[in-house]
């Protein structure tokens, strides 16, 4: 996995050096800039995962840099953390209104810095992956992408009636609809029926710890992308870091200032709508042209476009990695001959479903043809790809297939990592296919790594 790039912007070299040391020690790749113009140039050329941006700089302050980055197509998705020695809700509100995602106050606590950067790194990579997939399917189809209008709805989980009324009144004045739950039980009941754009949640609830509820909400696929802002009177830094690690997106410290409340909630809803739009349009396009009708995974048409797109990205950015798995159902012809094609089709669907279940969020499962599947693994080296394939193989070996009298179904897999020497999609596919052939010739039900690409290939 490549190191994540973090752009550090501060006109004071000592501050840049300190933050760089913190980040490098935790496996990040720090990039340094000392003024606003340099920050904008590096953000466009380096596409960092996160930007740490000082507010107080000469000529162009952090607010102006943020506003310019958020209006540029190439940089608008990069999360920005404003770093400041300034205090007060007015500065936080101003930052949120121009597009900042988070704040850190000097002197910076190392643990909080790493927790916030990791959380925003995950957000950026998810958004970027969704955008990648949308670009690919839009190139393959004539689908008109939607930009739906949403009602701005939030769930407020708060047992203090006075604070609840304050929050509902303030947010209602800017067109945000609030549903109120006074404890964890009513909050869970609400989430069974509704999917709000954002959750505002008190840290301490009458029937449970808000951190436990936060972790539970994030476990469910339908609610995983909903931003959660934790309301608390506790200023303990370790508890804030714990919340970020469990999936909190932001904090509001009591007593809550109304302008900051509005700004933080609107910023959270704005990010949620952007991700929701990408997912809706991606699903629409996939269902039109790029889905295998039998198994429901991507088809060969999509695979070719996806690989060409990703290989071009790796060639432009050599620090990126890309791997491929070729997977074949062992002895599938004998299964069809023994049990018939209807059962064979059912097995294909189950295998596709199980491969997708083990695949990670960014992996692309496709049906290559017949009983063969191909899986694209972005930002993955050969050893990581082998580990994914081995988990898939073990899962299939232990799966109890219906309608075949207890017979075991196994798979074989070949893994290959893209190299600049591959030059073409076909060369990478061939190396993965050769590794698959080796796995089958060695007795099936195994994974083999492909040979490295040579300059002659």
Catalogue the active-site residues: 371
Cβ atoms of 357 and 296 within 8 Å: the answer is: no
Rounded Cα gap, residues 437 and 435, in angstroms: 5
- Cβ-Cβ contacts under 8 Å for 309 (sequence gap 6 or more): 132, 135, 136
Go through the chain and tell me how many residues it has.
457
Cβ atoms of 250 and 227 within 8 Å: the answer is: yes
Which regions of 330-427 does DSSP assign to beta strands (E)?
Answer: 364-369, 372-378, 411-417
Residue environment code for 230-265, b if the CB has 16+ CB neighbours within 10 A, otherwise e: bbbeeeeeeebbebbebbbbbbbeeebbeebbbbbb
Token pair 């606003």 is found at 36
Rounded Cα gap, residues 211 and 102, in angstroms: 20
Cβ atoms of 307 and 425 within 8 Å: the answer is: yes
Angle at 90 between CA 85 and CA 93, to 5 degrees: 100
- CA distances, 230 to each of 60, 199, 201, 203, 234 (Å): 32, 8, 5, 6, 11
């Amino acid at each position: 996995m490549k190191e994540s790039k973090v752009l550090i912007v501060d006109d004071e070299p000592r501050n840049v050096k300190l933050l760089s040391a913190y980040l490098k020690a935790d496996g990040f790749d720090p990039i340094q800039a000392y003024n606003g113009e340099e920050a904008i140039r590096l953000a466009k050329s380096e596409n960092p995962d996160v930007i740490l941006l000082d507010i107080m700089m000469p000529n162009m302050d952090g607010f102006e840099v943020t506003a310019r980055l958020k209006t540029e197509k190439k940089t608008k998705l990069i999360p920005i953390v404003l770093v400041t020695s300034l205090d007060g809700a007015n500065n936080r509100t101003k930052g949120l209104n121009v597009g900042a995602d988070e704040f850190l106050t000097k002197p910076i606590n190392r643990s909080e810095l790493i927790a916030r950067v990791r959380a925003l790194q995950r957000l950026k990579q998810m958004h970027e992956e969704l955008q990648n997939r949308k670009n690919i399917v839009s190139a393959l189809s004539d689908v008109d992408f939607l930009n739906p209008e949403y009602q701005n709805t939030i769930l407020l989980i708060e047992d203090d009636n006075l604070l609840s009324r304050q929050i509902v009144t303030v947010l209602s004045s800017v067109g945000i609809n609030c549903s109120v739950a006074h404890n964890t039980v009513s909050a869970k009941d609400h989430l069974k029926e509704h999917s709000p754009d954002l959750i505002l949640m008190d840290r301490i609830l009458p029937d449970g710890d808000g951190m436990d509820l936060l972790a539970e909400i994030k476990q469910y696929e339908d609610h995983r992308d909903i931003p959660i802002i934790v309301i608390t009177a506790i200023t303990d830094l370790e508890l804030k870091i714990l919340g970020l690690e469990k999936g909190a997106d932001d904090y509001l410290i009591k007593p809550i200032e109304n302008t900051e409340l509005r700004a933080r909630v609107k910023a959270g809803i704005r990010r949620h709508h952007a991700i929701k739009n990408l997912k809706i349009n991606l699903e629409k396009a996939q269902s039109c042209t790029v889905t295998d009708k039998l198994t429901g995974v991507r088809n060969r048409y999509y695979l070719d476009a996806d690989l060409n797109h990703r290989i071009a990205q790796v060639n432009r950015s050599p620090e990126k990695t890309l791997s491929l798995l070729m997977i074949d159902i062992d002895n599938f012809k004998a299964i069809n001959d023994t049990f018939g094609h209807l059962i064979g089709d059912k097995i294909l669907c189950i295998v596709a479903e199980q491969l997708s279940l083990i695949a990670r969020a960014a992996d692309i499962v496709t049906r290559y043809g017949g009983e063969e599947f191909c899986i694209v693994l972005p930002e993955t080296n050969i050893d990581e790809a082998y580990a994914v394939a081995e988990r898939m193989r073990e899962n299939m070996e232990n799966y109890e297939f219906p309608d075949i009298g207890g017979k075991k179904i196994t798979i074989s897999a070949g893994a290959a990592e893209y190299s600049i020497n591959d030059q073409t999609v076909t060369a990478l596919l061939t190396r993965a296919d050769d590794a698959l052939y080796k796995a089958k010739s060695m007795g099936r039900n195994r994974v083999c790594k492909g040979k490295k690409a040579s300059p002659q290939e």
